[in-house]
Chain A
Amino acid sequence: MHELALSQGIVDLVCQQAAADGARRVRRVRIAVGVLSSVEPDAIEFCFDVVSRGTLAEGARLEIARPPGRARCVPCDAVVTVAGRDQPCPLCSERRWVLVGGDDLRVLELEVE
Chain B
Amino acid sequence: MCGVCGCGGGARSDGKGEDTADHHHHDHGHPHSHPHPHSHPHAHDHSHDRDEVTPTRLLRVEQDILAKNNAHAAANRALFSAAGVFSVNLMSSPGAGKTTLLVRTLADLKGRFPAAVIEGDQQTSLDAERIRATGTPALQVNTGTGCHLDALMVTRAVGRLGLVADSVLFIENVGNLVCPAGFDLGEARRVVVLSTTEGEDKPLKYPNMIAAADLLVVNKVDLLPHLVFDVNRLVDYAHRIKPGLEVIELSAATGLGLDRWYRWLEAGIAVARQNREHEQA
A interface, CB within 8 angstroms of B: 1-2, 5-6, 9-10, 12-14, 17-18, 21, 23, 27, 31, 36-39, 84-86, 95-96, 99, 103-113
Contacts and interface: CB of A to CB of B under 8 A. Distances in A.
A37 B207 contact: no
B64 interface: yes
A27 to B, nearest CB: 5
Closest 4 CB pairs of A and B: A2-B179, A85-B207, A38-B208, A105-B65
Contact of B207 (A86, A104, A107): A86
A2 B148 contact: yes
B149 to A, nearest CB: 11
A107 B146 CA distance: 23
A84 B237 CA distance: 13
Contact of A13 (B55, B60, B63, B240): B63
A96 B243 contact: yes
B63 A86 contact: no
A13 B56 contact: no
B63 A38 contact: no
Given A39-B182, A85-B207, A85-B208, A110 B69 contact: no
Contacts of B211: 85, 99
A38 B179 contact: yes
Given A84-B207, A86-B204, A109 B66 contact: no
Interface residues of B, number: 37
Contacts of A95: 240, 243
Interface string B147-183: 1101000000000000000000000000000110111
Given A5-B146, A12-B68, 12 more contacts: A6-B66, A9-B65, A9-B66, A9-B67, A27-B56, A31-B65, A36-B208, A38-B209, A107-B62, A108-B62, A111-B56, A112-B59
A86 B178 contact: no
Interface string B26-57: 00000000000000000000000000001111
B154 to A, nearest CB: 14
23 contacts: A2-B178, A2-B183, A5-B148, A13-B61, A13-B67, A23-B59, A38-B178, A38-B179, A38-B208, A38-B209, A86-B207, A86-B237, A95-B240, A95-B243, A103-B208, A105-B66, A106-B61, A106-B62, A107-B62, A108-B62, A109-B58, A111-B56, A113-B55
A27 B59 CA distance: 11
Contact of A105 (B54, B64, B204): B64
Nearest to A38: B208
A83 to B, nearest CB: 11
Contacts of B56: 27, 111-113
A113 B54 contact: yes
